[in-house]
């Protein structure tokens, strides 16, 4: 109706101007420009509003069903988190003791360790509504939009809690380092307004007593967060959710195989031993890939070999179609056998499998598994690791009298272990400050350590000429040599020659 009146009025004015003898063209051009500006402005506003609503609607606002018992491992982190959550459950008791409510909990740790699951379990534990968001949702090119979304987030949490007739709400912000990064000097960014609004909302949490709100945030880079966000009164508790140890890995594997048909002879404890450094997400992916392998082979149950293949895929990647020449296969086999021999000498029982199947960027590989999780290393431990890294190149040098580019990644690992040895004060340089050591000095000492380790490794490789030939024949034929098969061949060779000594 209004649009029709406006059009009619405009046409009347044009006719009237023509009647007066005035040229209406300049007026029409001016009116067209104004209309175009109004249309573009309106479209931009609508897009902004639509984008904001879309992002708000994309949040998963509900009451989670995930409990702490559904999370494998992380016993220390779960206990610390549950203690912090008690202020939402035992509010009256906390008031009696004069305890100030905790406003925020920061979960930090590597990706895939279960930080989001911990936040959901916290909502289940406290019977609170759960409102989730991501730091990237608050990043916007328009000034003030991020701050407005922070206000909307807290308002939505209170509204949802009242709707569900709950007295508490948990707001979970993933990737908080996106908006909570350190502020640099006087530089003003849109992120700063968003962060300031978050700080303001957290300061004002206890002013609204009918709904108690707890903010849980997750990050992989705690060191990047602004100090104002980390201080007491904002995020009062900092909980590290670290990679699981062997016991925790076994719990996680048991949880993720509950709904899968496992063969009775499957040894999940062995799988837990072979997956040192795996996160919870990787372990979940491992069980899923094992089930896929079983389905491909049309097996009714998941067997140990399927889990072994899944470990290889998670660690090295999927098998590739690259077809190596016979000469390359023999060289790769010699290279991997060198790794396996020295690995068994420095740490008996550590070889799980020797394979010539190309995976990822590797033409072959040796899969190791530690006897136990290790977090501290002596000089001997680090030198043993360097020798294992260099053993492939040493084997090529002994058999072919030259080396290939296949040892490039091995050298990178060896250099990393050598630098750890130096920075830990275990080298001949003694206890040092790495920042005060020149690159030339660091390189000189690293080269010295690696050269000495290579010479000792080469001397031990020379003892196994016949073993190389025996294992090479089997490996080229089968493409896979299990750890037990390799150890039997090694023991047989040791019995025949009686010349094998432990690497010193």
* 137 included as an active-site residue: no
In the chain, % of residues over pLDDT 90:
30
Cβ proximity of 487 and 349 under 8 Å: yes
Contacts of 401 (CB under 8 A, 6+ apart): none
Beta strand pairing call for 212-219 and 351-355: unpaired
Domain 68-240 has CATH 3.40.50.300: yes
Q: Is the dihedral of CA 426, 430, 436, 437 positive or negative?
A: negative
The CATH fold of domain 246-316: Helicase, Ruva Protein; domain 3 (1.10.8)
Instruction: Give the mean pLDDT of 450-470.
Output: 90
- pLDDT of 47 over the 50 cut: no
Rounded to the nearest 5°, which phi and psi values hold at 264?
Answer: -55, -30
Question: Which residue would you say has higher pLDDT here, 200 or 447?
Answer: 447
From CA 222, how far away is CA 106, in angstroms rounded? 9
CATH architecture of 326-497: Up-down Bundle (1.20)
Residue tagged active-site, from 190, 201, 274, 336: 336
Rounded to the nearest 5°, which phi and psi values hold at 24?
Answer: -85, 0
From CA 128, how far away is CA 124, in angstroms rounded? 7
Per-residue pLDDT reduced to its tens digit, 276-329 = 889 999 999 999 999 999 999 999 999 998 998 898 888 887 777 677 788 888
- pLDDT of 494 over the 90 cut: no
- pLDDT of 28 over the 80 cut: no
Q: What is the DSSP string of 70-94?
A: GS-S-HHHHHHHHHHHHHHHSHHHH
pTM for the whole thing?
0.72
- Which DSSP helix (H) or strand (E) runs through 417? helix 408-423
């Amino acid at each position: 109706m209004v649009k029709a009146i406006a059009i009619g009025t405009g046409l009347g004015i044009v006719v009237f101007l023509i009647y007066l003898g005035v040229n209406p063209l300049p007026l029409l051009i001016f009116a067209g420009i104004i209309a175009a500006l109004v249309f573009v402005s309106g479209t931009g506003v609508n897009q902004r509003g639509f984008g904001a609503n879309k992002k708000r609607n994309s949040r998963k606002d509900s009451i989670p069903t995930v409990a702490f018992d559904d999370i494998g491992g992380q016993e220390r982190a779960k206990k610390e988190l549950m203690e912090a959550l008690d202020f939402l459950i035992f509010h009256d008791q906390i008031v009696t003791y004069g305890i100030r409510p905790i406003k925020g909990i920061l979960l930090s740790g590597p990706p895939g360790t279960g930080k989001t699951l911990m936040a959901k379990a916290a909502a289940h534990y406290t019977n609170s509504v759960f409102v989730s968001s991501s730091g990237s949702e608050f990043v916007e090119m328009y000034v003030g939009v991020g701050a407005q979304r922070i206000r909307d987030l807290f308002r939505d949490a209170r509204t949802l809690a009242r709707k569900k007739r709950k007295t508490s709400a948990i707001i979970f912000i993933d990737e908080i380092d996106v908006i909570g990064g350190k502020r640099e000097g006087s530089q003003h960014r849109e992120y700063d307004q968003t962060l300031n609004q978050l700080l303001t909302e957290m300061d004002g949490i206890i002013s609204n007593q009918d709904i108690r709100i707890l903010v849980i945030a997750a990050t992989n880079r705690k060191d990047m967060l602004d100090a104002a966000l980390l201080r007491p009164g904002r995020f009062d508790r900092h909980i590290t959710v670290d990679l699981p140890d062997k016991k925790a890995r076994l719990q996680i594997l048991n949880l993720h195989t509950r709904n899968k048909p496992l063969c009775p002879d499957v040894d999940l404890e062995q799988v837990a031993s072979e997956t040192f450094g795996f996160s919870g997400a990787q372990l979940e992916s491992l069980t899923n890939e094992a089930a896929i392998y079983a389905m491909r082979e049309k097996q009714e149950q998941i067997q140990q070999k399927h889990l072994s293949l899944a470990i290889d895929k998670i660690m090295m990647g999927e098998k590739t179609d690259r077809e190596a020449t016979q000469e390359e296969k023999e060289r790769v086999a010699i290279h991997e056998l060198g790794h396996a021999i020295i690995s068994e000498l420095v740490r008996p029982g550590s070889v799980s499998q020797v394979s010539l199947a190309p995976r990822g960027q590797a033409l072959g590989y040796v899969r190791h598994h530690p006897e136990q999780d290790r977090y501290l290393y002596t000089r001997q431990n680090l030198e043993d690791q360097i020798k294992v890294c260099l053993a492939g190149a040493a084997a090529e040098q002994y058999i072919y009298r030259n080396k290939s580019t296949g040892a490039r990644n091995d050298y990178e690992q060896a250099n990393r272990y050598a630098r750890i040895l130096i920075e830990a004060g275990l080298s001949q340089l003694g206890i040092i400050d790495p920042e005060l050591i020149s690159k030339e000095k660091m390189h000189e000492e690293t080269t010295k350590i690696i050269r000495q380790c290579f010479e000792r490794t080469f001397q031990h490789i020379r003892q196994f000429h016949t073993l190389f030939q025996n294992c090479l024949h089997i490996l080229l034929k089968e493409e896979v040599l299990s750890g037990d098969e390799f150890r039997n061949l090694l023991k047989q060779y040791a019995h025949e020659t009686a010349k094998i000594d432990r690497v010193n």
